[in-house]
Amino acid sequence: MCRLFIGADPQLWASSTKSWRIEGMVTSVRLENYFWSILKEIAARDQMNIPQLLNKLYHESVNEGHDIHNYSSFLRVCCSRYLALQLTSEIPRNPTTALCELPVEEILQNEAQRLHSVIF
């Protein structure tokens, strides 16, 4: 079983730093290349590039009242949830389907029910 994971291309877990501006301030995030590739796919689904997606995620998180101390961890969880929601078919695997067109509240409710049944 472990060979399935350790046999992967080492470039997947090599990390790189990307910098962009949020409200005029230069911000940098260091993530593994695998997560950058997922974020690129997520961004492309709604005709954005990675800096645009990162700005949008940041501003929407702040508007929801979230205090994001560890933005890198937040982004990793976003990527993991994106993949998990594809496995449950909540997010279509076809990358031409825009995420902004999905029934977000329904997806969140279904996800919460699944997580609640597993955790509690």
| pLDDT over 90, % of the chain | 73
What DSSP designation does 87 have?
Answer: H
In terms of C-beta distances under 8 Å and separation of at least 24 residues, what long-range contacts does 21-26 make, across chains too? 21/51, 22/54, 22/55, 22/58, 22/59
Q: What average pLDDT does the structure give for the chain?
A: 92
CA of residue 114 relative to chain centroid, distance: 19
**CB distance 43 to 50 below 8 Å:** yes
The token pair that represents 70 in the structure block: 């560890």
The residue to which tokens 């974020």 are assigned? 39
What pLDDT, on the 0 to 100 scale, is given for residue 1?
74
Domain 2-119 has CATH 3.90.1310.10: no
Domain ranges of the chain: 2-119
pLDDT digit string, tens, across residues 66-118: 888 889 999 999 999 999 999 999 999 999 999 999 999 999 999 999 888 77
pTM assigned to the model: 0.88
Mean pLDDT of 12-18: 94
